[in-house]
Structure 1
Amino acid sequence: MPDAAIHPSNPAPVPRSTQRWLSRLAFLVAGAAALVPLAAAGVRGSLLLIGAAVAAVAAALVATWWFLTHRRIIRWLSAVTAVAALVAVAVLFARAEMVWVVVVTATLWAGAAAAGRAALADRSAGSTGQPEYETPAPQRPFLIMNPRSGGGKVARFDLVDRARALGAEVAVLEGTVDIVALARQAVRDGADLLGVAGGDGTQALVAGVAAEHGVPFMVISAGTRNHFALDLGLDRDDPATNLDALSDGVEILVDLGRVGDRTFVNNASFGAYAAVVQSPTYRDAKTATTLDLLPDLLNGAGGARLVVHAGELDLAGPRAVLVSNNPYTWTDMAGLGSRPRLDGGILGVVAVTVRGAGDAARLVGGRRSRAFTEITADTVVVEADVPDLPVGVDGEALLLPTPVRCEVRPAALRVRVPRRRPGAPVPRPRLDWAVLGRMALGRRTV
Structure 2
Amino acid sequence: MREGSPGWARLALLALLGSILVPLVAAGLRSVLWALVGIAGLALAAVGVWWTLAHTGVVRAFGVALTVTAPVAVLALYATFGMLWPALLSLALWVLALTAARTASTRGRTASGQAVAEAPHAPWVLMNPRSGGGKVGRFHLVEKARAAGCRVVLLDGSQDVTELARRAVAEGADLLAVAGGDGTQALVAEVAAHHDLPFVVIPVGTRNHFALDLGLDRDDPTAALQALSDAVELRVDLGYAADRVFVNNASFGAYASVVADPAYRDAKAQTVLKALPGLLTDEDAPRLRLRAARTSAEGLQALLVSNNPYGRAVDAGHPGRRERLDSGQLGVVCVRVDNAAQAARLVRGPRSPGLIRLSAEEVVVEADTATLPVGIDGEHAALPTPVVCRSAPAALRVRVPRRRPGTRRRPGTSRASGAAADWPRVTRLALGPLLRQRHQARAGASGSDSGSGSGSGSGSER
**In structure 2, which of residues 411, 421, 431 is the aligned counterpart of residue 431 of structure 1?**
421
Partner of 2:32: 47
In the alignment, the residues of structure 1 paired with residue 290 and residue 232 of structure 2 have an alpha-carbon distance, to the nearest angstrom, of 38
In the alignment, the residues of structure 2 paired with residue 340 and residue 33 of structure 1 have an alpha-carbon distance, to the nearest angstrom, of 27
One-letter amino acid of the counterpart of residue 108, structure 1: L
In the alignment, the residues of structure 1 paired with residue 15 and residue 140 of structure 2 have an alpha-carbon distance, to the nearest angstrom, of 52
1:17-416 alignment to 2 at 5 Å? 18=7, 22-23=9-10, 26-43=12-29, 45-114=30-99, 116-117=101-102, 121=104, 123-128=105-110, 130-301=112-283, 303-330=285-312, 332-334=314-316, 336-416=319-399
Give me the CA root mean square deviation.
2.3
One-letter amino acid of the counterpart of residue 196, structure 1: V
In the alignment, the residues of structure 2 paired with residue 12 and residue 63 of structure 1 have an alpha-carbon distance, to the nearest angstrom, of 42
Deviation readout 1:97-122 (Å, 9 max, x if unpaired): 2222213322333444455445xx1x
Contact map agreement 1:328 1:339 (CA 8 A) in 2: yes
In the alignment, the residues of structure 1 paired with residue 240 and residue 99 of structure 2 have an alpha-carbon distance, to the nearest angstrom, of 38
Displacement of 1:439: 5.0
1:250/1:437 Cα in 2 relative to 1: closer, same or farther (>3 Å)? closer
Displacement of 1:342: 1.3
The structure that is helix-richer by fraction is 2
TM-score normalised to the size of structure 2? 0.86
1:28/1:153 Cα in 2 relative to 1: closer, same or farther (>3 Å)? closer
Contact map agreement 1:164 1:170 (CA 8 A) in 2: yes
Tell me the SS of whatever aligns to 1:317.
strand
Displacement of 1:413: 1.2
Partner of 2:447: none
Contact map agreement 2:110 2:325 (CA 8 A) in 1: no
Identical columns (%): 53
Displacement of 1:385: 0.7
Query: What residue ranges of structure 1 are gaps of 5+ in the alignment?
Result: 1-9
Query: What residue ranges of structure 2 are gaps of 5+ in the alignment?
Result: 407-412, 437-462
Displacement of 1:238: 0.8
TM-score normalised to the size of structure 1? 0.89
1:327/1:156 Cα in 2 relative to 1: closer, same or farther (>3 Å)? same
Tell me the SS of whatever aligns to 1:308.
strand
Contact map agreement 2:178 2:184 (CA 8 A) in 1: yes
Deviation readout 1:150-185 (Å, 9 max, x if unpaired): 100111111111111111111111241111111111
Contact map agreement 2:213 2:320 (CA 8 A) in 1: no
Tell me the SS of whatever aligns to 1:251.
strand
Tell me the SS of whatever aligns to 1:154.
helix
1:112/1:347 Cα in 2 relative to 1: closer, same or farther (>3 Å)? closer
In the alignment, the residues of structure 1 paired with residue 424 and residue 157 of structure 2 have an alpha-carbon distance, to the nearest angstrom, of 57
Deviation readout 1:118-153 (Å, 9 max, x if unpaired): 5xx1x4335345222424211111111111111001
Tell me the SS of whatever aligns to 2:50.
helix
Deviation readout 1:46-80 (Å, 9 max, x if unpaired): 33322222212111111211111101221011111
Contact map agreement 1:200 1:227 (CA 8 A) in 2: yes
In the alignment, the residues of structure 2 paired with residue 116 and residue 326 of structure 1 have an alpha-carbon distance, to the nearest angstrom, of 21
Tell me the SS of whatever aligns to 1:330.
coil
Tell me the SS of whatever aligns to 2:61.
helix
Displacement of 1:31: 3.7
Contact map agreement 1:271 1:303 (CA 8 A) in 2: no
Partner of 1:6: none
1:261/1:78 Cα in 2 relative to 1: closer, same or farther (>3 Å)? same
Displacement of 1:192: 1.0
Displacement of 1:369: 1.6
Displacement of 1:440: 5.6
